[in-house]
Chains A and B, each alone.
Chain A
């Protein structure tokens, strides 16, 4: 729930999603759901020369379970707020 909320606050920001097939995709985060499935707009594949498969793709839907990392825009992440929210959720794990 917590991480889902964090991603919601980052909608319309640019992120880079690294998948478990080693593909890295940069784009504008358009939406996220409870499974952390991700929708990206205006995408670009890292190392497009090696991966021309998605050349003509404008936007995409990524299954949450195949995400390895998401690089977040640090300037839009309030780390103090995150830590407080994490402690709160740890103290009250009912909503996990």
Chain B
């Protein structure tokens, strides 16, 4: 099988995103946008020029879900290793 010809398995999509900007959704209401430089079979990633967005839902005591105020925190890092166990999805393009 010639893997260079296209996408045969899910990891090929990630391979083709090497040196491109990717969008990463993580556990704990976190999202990243960064340039992908390395990954492995655990979906451990190394990204550069990363912007992280953390969604913080402020649920006041006793309030039902969906009524809390949502705030967002943003952070930048130059070079970031992301442990694979927190990764939910990786998509090409920085959203």
Chain A residues close to B by CB (< 8 Å): 1-3, 6-7, 20, 36, 64-65, 67-74, 77, 79, 82-83, 85-87, 89-91, 93, 96
**Contacts A83-B19, A86-B39, A96-B41 hold; do A71 and B77 have CB atoms under 8 A apart?**
yes
Chain A residues near B81: list those with CB within 8 A: 3, 6-7, 69-72
Interface size of B as a range:
20 to 34
B37 close to A83 (CB less than 8 A) = yes
B38 close to A70 (CB less than 8 A) = no
Chain B residues near A20: list those with CB within 8 A: 86
B37, B44, B48, B77 — which one has the most chain A CB atoms within 10 A of its CB? Answer: B37
- Alpha-carbon separation in the docked complex, A85 to B46 (Å): 12
Q: Kindly provide the distance from the CB of A44 to the nearest chain B CB, expressed in whole angstroms.
A: 17
Closest 4 CB pairs of A and B: A74-B79, A96-B41, A70-B81, A74-B78
A69 close to B41 (CB less than 8 A) = no
Q: Kindly provide the distance from the CB of B15 to the nearest chain A CB, expressed in whole angstroms.
A: 5
Whose C-beta in chain A lies nearest to the C-beta of B14? A90
Query: Which residue from B18, B44, B48, B80 sits with its C-beta under 8 Å from A87?
Result: B18
